[in-house]
Structure 1
């Protein structure tokens, strides 16, 4: 399907587009893998530095917070400097942060290391997404879904590699090796990524009739709510499974099924959105999310296992459609900034929403709080209808 998207480009641009997608996907895999690598290291840091659960959660939040904060500055910097240089520098900075973590002997140094690495990772989402968008122009929706999927590959591969390394060596040496991998990816970006032009090509989708600005903010709200639903459901799912009699290994297997479905959803729904339209795809994924959440609450454990991969597809599928729509609602010279805004909102929602849903769960219980996430998913449907006239497909129906 990536080949089909590339075939829509002029012949001289096809190889460059494929190379851009390959390098951007590699960077995405590394940075998302670095983000989830923390989960593998937290128990080791707890034992070595004597940290409580609150401080461990704060370390994870520090990395995500710095990543969110630096998305906008990265997007603005890329408007003045070749984004390839900014992305390569951010990747090297993320690797340097983990290398520093391997050198630190105390909590303050560990916090500084994670802050540095998180800041470096803040460059990846807006710049790599914009690079793929510019490379494929009006055919970018499917390739952006592929790019989105590569992040899930990194989330699976790098923590797994770290777990293997930790059986062979102390955690500090393992982290240094993974930092070396980051330096190699930074060099790959610098050497192989085509220059990221700061103005869109003629084939890129443009805003029309002044509709793009309002459309972008509708898209932004949908993205914030969608990510909040996803993180809210995942917060309560282990407790719901346990209440149905699932053991700890069974809960782990159930989450793996959700994540596998989520990776498939990210890959498939970007292409589905390109074929059947954003509105229909969002209606299907958000309506399906609400139905699957109700199924999680109602079904017994054996039947629930068959539903979990579908739940993953629905929870994650919308994101690829939304990411692929950002360039359509943005002036070509502001794509990096638009992606930075969008990712800042969705990452921030992923950090705040579990807390909000958790407080609701304390008041009404996990099942009712989970049902609330289904209501929020359904609330996205009218927003999707409001967004449709701002999109190319919606405008064409009104001509």
Structure 2
């Protein structure tokens, strides 16, 4: 098992260095945001392409699920190796090479004439995308030190922009050109982003200096705190993905039309993007525990309201529900570096993202099996119960956070 020794939140650089570091720090943030938008856009672009591939290759729904699973599986399982590779090659080189591989994977998908070739190409692209989450978030954390919570929420928000922009762009492109040409154009965008990262991403040496080694007792407390945070992240992702699985069935039972179904999901996703942006900053002001209490409690209450309300009021609560669903993630990601020393930042992010991505893949299956037994409404209530199950974990996490008051012996 990977051991994560603790450190106090990294101190900021001295006043004299702050001004000179501000420009490179911003460059780290914006390049990390660009990488996040591209890679998350690449991940969700597959959804827009599945109907095209179904027609071209004569695939059934099971085969389409395998295509999506190959990309997501490669991305999830290779994040820890990506962190180890970065220790040998450096963050900038590894992130640039990963971005290039993700782009070339889509170029190969555009050249594939067989289903096997398409599978290999998507696995290669997913492998390239495995570098983005641990390395880009780690770079932001190193650059901003104890002030990283707000920048990490911006980084998190950028991923949602990519999820919105690239699938929409590829959907338009495949109406005016062959899908293979559209993939080559998207691949060219990835090659450009890889080149920009290779040329302009500042060195991690800009990070604040490391802290003195903590005591053994503090080490154990921080390790326990990280794994509590990990469990909260896994359950939070399960709530989000489980609810989204059953949302169309709930709305259909209320009489929603098919065109309005797309609008309903857009309301959820717009609220989610706003939640990622706002809750990271809120966490810096209200504290991690207070913010997570609010978002998870609000999520559970709004899920119950969604089930009980008629269609029009249910649609009205969707943006707020989206904000609560997605807002927690920014708070959690911003807390990862607070429970981790600088030298283990990328590894900690890799572990955390591996857990949440795996939860995103497996939780819809688990809730789906439950839904087959107790119905969509019952399974949706189970997602609300899962959100409430996070509360005692947050209570256990509170004394393990940096700055928490110590209990008297």
Q: TM-score range by the shorter chain?
A: over 0.9
Which of 76, 83, 90 does residue 75 from structure 1 map onto? Answer: 83
The reply to whether residue 161 of structure 1 matches residue 169 of structure 2 is: yes
Paired position in structure 1 for 2:6: none
Shift of 1:160: 1.2
Paired position in structure 1 for 2:368: 358
Q: Distance in 2 between matches of 1:343 and 1:207?
A: 25
Paired position in structure 2 for 1:11: 19
Please state whether the residue corresponding to 2:315 is helix, strand or coil.
helix
**Residue deviations 1:307-338, cap 9 Å, x none?**
00000000000000000000011121010000
Q: Distance in 2 between matches of 1:207 and 1:117?
A: 40
Once the two structures are superposed, the pairs formed by residues 317-396 of structure 1 within 5 Å of their partners are 317-395=327-405
Please state whether the residue corresponding to 1:246 is helix, strand or coil.
coil
Once the two structures are superposed, the pairs formed by residues 103-252 of structure 1 within 5 Å of their partners are 103-197=111-205, 201-202=208-209, 209-210=218-219, 211-252=221-262
Moved over 6 A (4+): 5-9, 203-208, 396-399
Unaligned 5+ runs, structure 1: none
Report if aligned partners of 1:6, 1:14 keep a CA contact under 8 Å in 2.
no
Shift of 1:394: 1.9
Please state whether the residue corresponding to 1:10 is helix, strand or coil.
helix
**Residue deviations 1:171-225, cap 9 Å, x none?**
000000000000000001111110134x962277986622211110000000000
**Residue deviations 1:10-35, cap 9 Å, x none?**
11211111000000000000000000
Shift of 1:151: 0.2
State the number of aligned residues.
394
C-alpha distance 387-161 of structure 1, shift in aligned 2 (>3 A): same
Please state whether the residue corresponding to 1:167 is helix, strand or coil.
helix
Shift of 1:7: 11
Paired position in structure 1 for 2:29: 21
Which of 304, 313, 316 does residue 303 from structure 1 map onto? Answer: 313
Report if aligned partners of 1:277, 1:393 keep a CA contact under 8 Å in 2.
no
Please state whether the residue corresponding to 1:105 is helix, strand or coil.
coil
**Residue deviations 1:365-396, cap 9 Å, x none?**
00010000100100101101111111124248
Report if aligned partners of 1:138, 1:204 keep a CA contact under 8 Å in 2.
no
Further displaced range: 119-128 or 382-391: 382-391
Please state whether the residue corresponding to 2:89 is helix, strand or coil.
coil
Once the two structures are superposed, the pairs formed by residues 21-100 of structure 1 within 5 Å of their partners are 21-100=29-108
**Residue deviations 1:334-354, cap 9 Å, x none?**
100000000000000000000
Report if aligned partners of 2:143, 2:207 keep a CA contact under 8 Å in 1.
no
Please state whether the residue corresponding to 1:336 is helix, strand or coil.
helix
Further displaced range: 228-237 or 245-254: 245-254
**Residue deviations 1:82-107, cap 9 Å, x none?**
11100000000000000000000010
Report if aligned partners of 1:254, 1:308 keep a CA contact under 8 Å in 2.
yes
Q: Distance in 2 between matches of 1:66 and 1:389?
A: 36
**Residue deviations 1:104-141, cap 9 Å, x none?**
00100000000000000000000000000000000000
Report if aligned partners of 1:200, 1:333 keep a CA contact under 8 Å in 2.
no
**Residue deviations 1:157-179, cap 9 Å, x none?**
11111122112210000000000
Report if aligned partners of 1:7, 1:14 keep a CA contact under 8 Å in 2.
no
Report if aligned partners of 1:137, 1:203 keep a CA contact under 8 Å in 2.
no
Once the two structures are superposed, the pairs formed by residues 275-294 of structure 1 within 5 Å of their partners are 275-294=285-304
> Over aligned residue pairs, what C-alpha RMSD do you find?
1.9
C-alpha distance 35-11 of structure 1, shift in aligned 2 (>3 A): same
**Residue deviations 1:22-53, cap 9 Å, x none?**
00000000000000100111000000000001
Q: Distance in 2 between matches of 1:346 and 1:50?
A: 32
The reply to whether residue 254 of structure 1 matches residue 239 of structure 2 is: no
Shift of 1:81: 2.2
